[in-house]
Amino acid sequence: MFEKMGGILRRYEEVLRELASPEASQDPVRLSALMKEQAGLSPIAAAYEAFEKARKDAEESEELLSVEADPEMRQMLREEYSNAQVREEALKKKLRILLLPSDPDNGRNAILEIRAGTGGDEAAFFAAELYRMYSRYADRRGWRTEMISLSENGLGGFKECTFMISGSDVFARLRFESGTHRVQRVPETESNGRIHTSAVTVAVLPEAEEVDVEIDPKDCRFDVFRSTGNGGQSVNTTDSAVRLTHIPTGIVISCQDEKSQLKNRAKAMKVLRARLYELKKKEAHDKRADLRRSQVGSGDRSEKIRTYNFGQGRVTDHRIRLTLHRIDSILDGDLDEIIENLMAADEAQRLAAEPET
């Protein structure tokens, strides 16, 4: 750990000097990059400074203890020494966490795809509830939600829904939501009171930039059609909907949320870039099977990650064995406790895999 610190601190000093130079203020792109780098390095530098102070305090208290004869002073010095050691250990752990390799996608926006699985209309109703849950969570955090594509079942449920959430560290907080979400409850249409189990799959993809994925226009086929379902003026009276087929992979994306065919094409391309970027990442991860095994969740749609049991009022995340008995507030967007426990579990697994120095 400490071998890394020398280089990090030197780089931090270089960034601060460059930020203070007149040249940086004249280059907005470079200035933005430097400010972003400073924001990433400053918590590490501050934690290391506090760690060094705690270590120095412990050494000074230990030295004074070796020569002090007064009982009261010795007691005070023992307390100071103990407190400094506790701070030193806590800051050492904090530094180890800060120095863990971070996913470069953590700061990106996220594209979420929700699909009703087994369970027919009941699964579609729950897919719509999950969309509202994530939308409300986004509202709580000051993020922005933008619908990309929606296919409804005609009864208020969602067969498929694709939307983007934009804001600070969206992907970092939502990345572990990928997988199968299971719901257990008595449907309104069930006259005998039998509990039905339905499933909805969620995929969370980091938004990809054009530089991340190169797409050959010749590999894309666009078909236009008339939008269906609820829509504003002219949405379902013109051929504005777009179906994009990526020929090499067979990925098909439909987008009909916008009145403009051009806007729907742009949104479809955005989803395609995210899907291709995720495929590229998955291929890289599959080559490093040990990394996949060390993750809290693989991100596969097939992985059952969470159960929402309405009869018992509970939500259980199976990956970290966390059960909360407040299903209503969770479906209203109160997700922080679950998400922070998932992030902490992932952090603990990555710490355990890192050699302590």
What is the distance between the alpha carbons of residues 107 and 102, in angstroms, rounded to a whole number? Answer: 10
Beta bridge partners of 65: none
Sign of the torsion angle spanned by Cα atoms 66, 70, 75, 81: negative
Cβ neighbours around 14 below 10 Å, total: 13
Q: How many residues does the chain have?
A: 357
- At 154-206, the pLDDT tens digits run 888 999 999 999 998 899 999 999 999 999 998 876 667 788 899 999 999 99
Domain borders along the chain are: 2-98, 110-347
Please report the pLDDT score of residue 238 as a whole number: 59
Residue keyed to tokens 């969570």: 137
Q: Which residues contact 216 (CB under 8 A, 6 or more apart)?
A: none
- At 88-101, the pLDDT tens digits run 999 988 888 888 77
**179-185 and 304-309 beta bridge pairing:** parallel
Predicted TM-score (pTM) of this structure:
0.74
What is the distance between the alpha carbons of residues 206 and 214, in angstroms, rounded to a whole number? Answer: 16
What is the distance between the alpha carbons of residues 28 and 45, in angstroms, rounded to a whole number? Answer: 25
Third-level CATH fold of 110-347? Alpha-Beta Plaits (3.30.70)
For the ranges 228-232, 272-276, 328-332, the one whose mean pLDDT is highest: 328-332
Report residue 278: phi and psi, to 5°.
Answer: -65, -40
What is the distance between the alpha carbons of residues 111 and 133, in angstroms, rounded to a whole number? Answer: 15
Please report the pLDDT score of residue 60 as a whole number: 94
